[in-house]
Amino acid sequence: MAAALMDGELGSLLKVTAAVWAAMYYARMAAALIRPGAARLAALLPAVALFCAIPLAFSTTTFRGTSAFFLCWLGTFKLLLLAAGRGPLDPSLSLPHFVFSASLPVKFRQPASTSAKAKDHQDPASASARGDGPAKILVSGAVIPFIIYAYQFKDAMSWWQLVLMYTAHIYFSLELLLGSVHALVHGVLGMEMEPQVDRPYLASSLRDFWGRRWNLMVPAILRPSVHGPVRARFGDAAGVMASFLVSGIMHEVMFYYIMWQPPSGDVTAFFVLHGACTAAEGWWARHAGWWRPPRAVAVPITLAFVGGTGIWIFFPAMVRGGLDELVLQECQGLVVAMEQAGRWLAGGGAAGPILSTR
């Protein structure tokens, strides 16, 4: 069963890949022929609809969740920005560059001058993004199996131990996923990309955590699509709140695709709370001379707030939906499939062992 399931997912992945390339060829051509505005938006809506439907092509939470994040959320927002003549997509890009930019959580670096490159090499975050990519993939790939193994004992764990395990699973999974995407795109196009995670454990404020360190493709998309327009009309605080509200809603959509359960509103509440606190931080920071905690104090306070509110609101929504059980079952199935494939290869490729699992 496990091997048959993975075979089915790989078949769906090939079909989805072909559909995405065809849709992005059409979107690039339409954007080249039609000016930004309502007409371009109408022309791009079929591609938007396809991106929203693609997660339905998969049967596992891993593929549904990943495609919902890459395509239904980030991809559709990029296409909507393209309809307005903004964002990372442009019809002048080559087709591979356009497809990867539209369908993957990547932001390509702009060509830099010699002085800018020298400065970039001195920047710790940029150096980390370039040099530590393979190491992060290896470390994350080595740690995740231990986390999956630990799930077997979750009934004997305290709530705090469970939260620590869930947090580690999310962090290392994101590092592995984004690092693999980075390596794939860099290998195909030979282009450098902006880092997507920049040591979130060093965040000294919520603005620092959400805006400059954690899952950076999301704020890169929300700034031009939500924060900028709302801020221009109603001010910075409204732009921040709107961005976090949209982020919460899109997380609810992702959870629906993953667990097939209607949204509870808890995840949206988590992001709205963080939006209000981030806006309050911005208001406080605009007052010169007001007290600010030293970095040695600000970092643990920030991490405690993110972790504490996650324990209170975010993680319970995952556990109630049974996401941890679904992920454990699929990971165990993947391990079984890999073991069967290993035995099949060790046996010289005999058909019997692998076919018997279907």
Tell me the C-alpha to C-alpha distance, in Å, between residue 200 and each of 2, 5, 197, 219.
35, 35, 7, 14
SS3 label, residue 131: helix
The per-residue pLDDT for range 221-252, each reduced to its tens digit, is: 999 999 999 999 999 999 999 999 999 999 99
42 alpha-carbon distance from chain centroid: 27
Tell me the C-alpha to C-alpha distance, in Å, between residue 20 and each of 15, 101, 286, 336.
9, 12, 44, 30
User: In whole numbers, what is the pLDDT of the chain averaged over residues?
Assistant: 82
The per-residue pLDDT for range 251-261, each reduced to its tens digit, is: 999 999 988 88
pLDDT at residue 337 in the model: 55
Question: How far apart are the C-alpha atoms of 141 and 106, rounded to whole Å?
Answer: 20
96: closest CA among 176, 184, 178?
A: 184
Question: How far apart are the C-alpha atoms of 149 and 146, rounded to whole Å?
Answer: 5
Question: How far apart are the C-alpha atoms of 91 and 79, rounded to whole Å?
Answer: 11
Q: Which residue has the tokens 């959509």?
A: 253
- φ/ψ of 213, rounded to 5, equals -135, -35
Nearby residues of 124 by Cβ (< 8 Å), 6 or more positions away? none
Residue type, 200: P
Q: pLDDT category, 146, cuts 50, 70, 90?
A: confident
Per-residue pLDDT, averaged over 168-172, amounts to 83
76: closest CA among 205, 221, 202, 180?
A: 221
Q: Please, what sign has the CA dihedral across residues 217, 334, 315, 134?
A: negative
pLDDT at residue 181 in the model: 79
Q: What is the DSSP letter of 311?
A: I
Return the number of other C-beta atoms located less than 10 Å from residue 279's C-beta.
21
Written in H, E and C, the secondary structure of 274-301 is HHHHHHHHHHHHCCCCCCCCCHHHHHHH
Q: Which residue has the tokens 């605009």?
A: 286
92 alpha-carbon distance from chain centroid: 26
Per-residue pLDDT, averaged over 312-321, amounts to 82
233 alpha-carbon distance from chain centroid: 29
Per-residue pLDDT, averaged over 176-192, amounts to 75
List the structure tokens of 146.
């231990």
Residue type, 64: R
User: How many CA atoms lie within 13 Å of 149's alpha carbon, on the beta-carbon side?
Assistant: 5
* pLDDT of 346 higher than 80: no
Residue type, 132: D
* pLDDT of 131 higher than 60: no
**H or E stretch at 18:** helix 2-33
pTM above 0.85, yes or no: no
The CA angle 282-288-289, to the nearest 5 degrees, is: 125
Burial letters for 210-242: b for 16+ Cβ neighbours within 10 Å, e otherwise?
bbebbbbbbbbbbebbbbeebbeeeeebebbbb
Question: How far apart are the C-alpha atoms of 132 and 55, rounded to whole Å?
Answer: 31
Q: Please, what sign has the CA dihedral across residues 295, 297, 299, 305?
A: negative
List the structure tokens of 56.
């339905």
For residues 229 and 346, which has the higher predicted lDDT (pLDDT)? Answer: 229
